[in-house]
Every structure is written in structure tokens, then in C-alpha cells.
Structure 1
């Protein structure tokens, strides 16, 4: 395993992995990533750290002399920054969100999307048919998993949805719910628990857990072979123990 990592690391360090190929004076061991704030996974202003996933990835990669330069954007903009080649990759993503990017094969973690309503609501999600009975709030270009992703792309369902983008999207969805502009919104349960610990939200059913990955601009991934390196590091049993024993308890105590 160590030989594989060193071989792949040599491939990365032999290529200028900064987003601007003309800037040849930059440190070659930096990966430029885009993300949106998605605490507790990736956090912008959190005392405990930069989030469960970002803290973990930083330590694992710094052990191989690779540092991460992370920029925060609204989610749609983050995807575009990587798709255009201005930045190298996304910290977290699923394939339905950015199908033109190249993904790691080993997931960083799993997440679970759940529906949230006002306390007084009696609506419960059990199948896709239940979505026809509510107005659902979602965030543009987010991957929620099936059947929500397919439901959100079908034109005849648009009257039953409100899509929002930009900054503070989840906070805005919660306000729309409180004002009764929507009947429910969907978000990862850990994110909701983190942001709305003392709120009046009611969990009304969940989708199956799904994995999320790192994703990279295809040209960058091909020239650096960064994906085999990340796969090797995330598969390494010592790193998996580090994640479970150090970083998971930091954010889920």
C-alpha cells in the first residue's frame, strides 16, 4: 500500500496542479478545491475545525506533503468553478450533482437525506407518491438521491416545488417553512441537527443512506492521477481508524 501511495504521489508532484497552468512558480503540492458550507461535514466558521470531512482530508493528505486550498461558494457556483477548470475539484459531491466530473471510487462518508416539516404537520414520506401532496423546498443542483432527484427534474412537478440557490440556502428554506410558503424541505439529517438544534422542525421520513465522494475536473484528474491516490489513502486501514477515533467524535460527541 505504501509503495502505491508513493508512486501516485510522484505523479502528482511532477505536475503543476494549480488551477492556473501559467503560474509555474506556485507550490506544486497544493490541490485547489471548491465547496459550499455544509456543516458538520465542511464548515466555514466553526470553532471545532473546518468540518468532519475537510479536517480529515487535510491530515491524510498533509502526511503525503499535499495541502488543500479550499474556497467556499454557493453550490452551483462551486460545481462550475471545477467544471471550467478554474479549480481542481470538489470536497464532497455525488455523481448526479456533477456528472461531467471524475469521482473517487472510495467514498469519503455516507449521508442520509430526510424530510422536515413544521411541528403540527402530520405528513410522512413513505414513497414518491407522497411528494405530490406537498410543496417541497429544495436547493438547486443538489443531489438528494432517488426518487427525489428524478422527481425534481420532471416538469409536471415544478408547481409542487420551490428551488432556491445562492448563499444560506438551508436557512432560507427553514424560513420559507416557518412562513408556510412550503410544506417540507429535504436535507441531510446531521446538517439539520447541527444547524437547528433547538428548532421546531419535525422529521417526517428519510431516504436511504448514500455515499459521497471527492470529484475532480477530468483533465486535472487524468494529468495528476489524483483519484488513485485519494482512493488508496481513504482505503488505508490506519486512516479509517483515524477518521472513526479522532474526527467523528469531534463533531458527533
Structure 2
């Protein structure tokens, strides 16, 4: 060995050891796999946890050599576990909300890049008088929403302030059945979700012909993974974002 020098094979060994140590001490290395919560929200996620959203999340992390375990919970529990239980590093699919964005003054989570989209609007009885051009027009109607869902920022704010009357449901199916029973004058729902339930759910199929989706969308949401506001969550979010760019079929609209 020359004075002050180091053989190439020794340098490679040292660099490999450093890389292993850095990985072993990173927030993501503490778990054998990443664990994410989700909900039964077809067609995006089925009751088994499978579906196009899960496929995208898994394939994105797989590009980084990470395995992903997902489990379906009721939505409010899925949110709480992802935010409060360290074994769950995030929840999907989530709509973006600045109020919960830990990087914009919120506290709950760190948002990934968008990996899909969700066209949200109003479902109404056919032939009803419901129509709207601005949010102020909605003050004249009772609007059905699912408890715990983020719908659209302005609408949610007006409901919270009591400016718009809301009828609460526990899930999309119940919300549809409520509008069919005229418990509200319109409900907020994802267009793809309604079409799926119309095809797959006998109860929804029975009333679907009496309903119609309003032509004016409320919002076209991006779909995100909402990672816990922690070092592990940030590491997972950054890993997801880095590898999402390599998936050409991913939709990246906000």
C-alpha cells in the first residue's frame, strides 16, 4: 500500500458498510415492511384492500425495493390509525386539504404527490329543481355528505359554519339511498364511485334510474397518500414521490 493511499477493494468495502449502517438507522428500516391503512372505496379500493389505487401504491414502493402491507378499516379509524399509531405509516386514497397538511400549518399528515384523480359532484333525483353556478346557490338546498369525508374546501367550510344544511351518511351507499328517499336534495359523490355502485350494489341499482349526476363538477380531486407527520412518514413520502415519477400511467393532477 502506498503511503496515504487505500486499495480500491478496501474503499468499496468501507462504502458498503457505511451504506448498510445508514439504511439500518433510517426511520424506514425499523419495520420489515411499510404498513398503510385504507378504506373500502370501490372502484379505487376493494374490501380486500386490492384495487387500482393499491396497485399503484404497491408498484411505486416496489420500485424502491419496499414491500407494502395494506388493511381496510372504516374511514375514520383508518385516518386515526395512520395519524396516531406508529405501526401504520400512512393512509390512502386521501383528498388534499391544507387544514391537515403538516407542511402548510396543519398537523395530521404529509401529502405525497398525486397518483390519481376523483371527479366529485352532485347526485340528484331526476327532474329535481337542483341547480347551481356558485357556492351561494347551494344555501337553498339540503346536501347529503358522508361523515368524515373531505368533499371540497369551500363547501365543507360553509357546512361547518352552518351556511349550508347537511344530511350525514356513514358511507356512499347510504348517501345514495338517502337521496333516492328524498332525505336531501343533492348528495356529494365521486362520479366513478356512483357508476361502480350502480353496477355492483343491488340496492343502488334499484334506485339508480331515478337519479342523475349533475353536469357541473364540484371539484376534480387529486388522490394522495397521507403519510404520518413523523420522520418515518417523511422518509416514506419522499421514497414514494421519487419513484412515482417513474410510473408513466400515474395521474398527477391536483
Fold agreement, TM-score > 0.5: yes
- Is 1:101 the counterpart of 2:108? The answer is yes
> 1:29-108 maps to which residues of 2 (within 5 A)?
29-45=32-48, 50-86=50-86, 87-96=88-97, 98-99=100-101, 100-108=107-115
Gaps of 5+ in 2: 1-18, 102-106, 200-204
User: Does the 8 A contact of 2:28 with 2:232 survive in 1?
Assistant: no
**Distance in 1 separating the partners of 2:191 and 2:227:** 26
* Structure-2 change in CA distance of 1:181 and 1:228 (3 Å): same
User: Does the 8 A contact of 1:106 with 1:235 survive in 2?
Assistant: no
Match of 2:166 among 161, 170, 185: 161
1:143 aligned residue: 150
- Is 1:193 the counterpart of 2:189? The answer is no
1:182 aligned residue: 184
Cα deviation for residue 124 of structure 1 reads: 1.8
**Aligned pair count?**
217
**Distance in 2 separating the partners of 1:42 and 1:217:** 20
After TM superposition, which residue ranges in structure 1, 4 or more long, deviate above 3 angstroms? 8-18
RMSD over aligned CA atoms reads: 2.8
DSSP 3-state at the match of 1:71: strand
Structure possessing the higher relative contact order (Cα contacts under 8 Å, 6 or more residues apart):
1
1:209 aligned residue: 220
User: Does the 8 A contact of 1:112 with 1:188 survive in 2?
Assistant: yes
Write the deviation string for residues 130-185 of structure 1: whole angstroms up to 9, x where unpaired: 2112111101221112321212211343xx211233xxx11111111111111111
Gaps of 5+ in 1: 1-7, 19-23, 245-253
User: Does the 8 A contact of 2:178 with 2:184 survive in 1?
Assistant: yes
The structure with the larger Rg is 2
Normalised TM-score (structure 1): 0.75
**Distance in 2 separating the partners of 1:9 and 1:38:** 39
Write the deviation string for residues 77-133 of structure 1: whole angstroms up to 9, x where unpaired: 111111112421012213427442333342111222110011231312321122112
User: Does the 8 A contact of 1:116 with 1:185 survive in 2?
Assistant: yes
Cα deviation for residue 9 of structure 1 reads: 11
